[in-house]
Amino acid sequence: MASKINFRALFKNKWLYAGLLPSFGLLAIFSYYPFFNSFYTSLLDSNGVNHSKFVWLANFVELLTNDAEFYPALKVMAVFAVADVVKAVSVPLFVALMIHHLRSERAKYIFRVLLVVPAVVPSMVGLLLWKSFLSETGMINELLKVIGMGQFATSWLGNEDTVIGALIFIGFPWVNGVGTLILLAGLINISKELYDAGRVDGVSAWRRMWNIEIPLILPQLRLLIILTIIGSIQSYESILIITQGGPYGITNVPGLMLYNNAFSYGRVGYASAIGIVLFLLIIGFTYINNRYNRVDA
């Protein structure tokens, strides 16, 4: 049974709660209002400045039935989402396991700090570096020439056959600091008695990982997966900076369509409709994740 609100305690500490009002006010202005306003705007034929006309669901009908870019963009987004999930789980899990099983507590602390350090580097800087690495005269092609494989040098970002793979390759070796720390936190919470029992039974490191560690950090893995999927659905910045959706629209994603319609084509209502569809996709994945968590609880 849900606990009742203690109005006496609430009134007694009214000034403490009143101190939260400015924060909620700012949230309402800069987060909640734009969010709910986007639903209203999606029903308009609007350029965001001086032209707005109710078209009801016409933006959604156009997007889902007449826009030749939308479904190919969804397919590209799905490819990136799958790749991002693999990158977010595989290498960070391996690194988290390696750090967790270090004997030196000092070494564990140092590695945790080193995982956080890259976060202070603006992501824009990293994207521009990778763009230069993957250019025709970039480091990747020069390295191929040095090791005698110059025949494989190409315009990685301008070639239809390589651009998707090149974008997925960005960030190699994909040691995501936040993801690694999330998994490491789950590993730290595993009872030492389980490890001791495994040693007594002669469990190998491989079996220990599959039978003890991974099953016990499934909540962290699911959290990491759903956050990665949400990030992939929302993301378009790297594509905007590196390829602008090219070549020939091959790397176009719904987020980039939203950006272009809002800021390049002046179709704010249509861009809002794209945003609502992406929001519904995120809600769907979040619901599936929460449902599986309830089943396992």
Nearest-angstrom CA–CA distance, 209 and 205: 6
pLDDT of residue 2: 45
| Mean pLDDT, 10 residues at a time, the chain of 297 residues | 60 75 88 89 86 89 95 96 94 93 90 84 87 91 91 90 94 89 92 86 87 91 91 92 91 95 92 95 86 62
Q: Is the peptide bond before 22 cis (omega within 30 degrees of 0)?
A: no
Q: What is the pLDDT of residue 1?
A: 40
Backbone angles phi, psi at 101, to 5 degrees: -95, 10
Report DSSP state, residue 50.
S
- pLDDT score at 294: 60
% helix, strand, coil for the chain, step of 5: 70, 0, 25
Q: What per-residue confidence (pLDDT) applies to 52?
A: 81
Domains and CATH numbers, the chain: 61-296 (1.10.3720.10)
**One-character DSSP codes across 58-124:** HHHHIIIII-TTHHHHHHHHHHHHHHHHHHHHHHHHHHHHHHHT-S-HHHHHHHHHHHHGGGGS-HH
* Whole-number Å distance between alpha carbons of 113 and 58: 51
Query: What is residue 290's predicted lDDT score, i.e. its pLDDT?
Result: 77
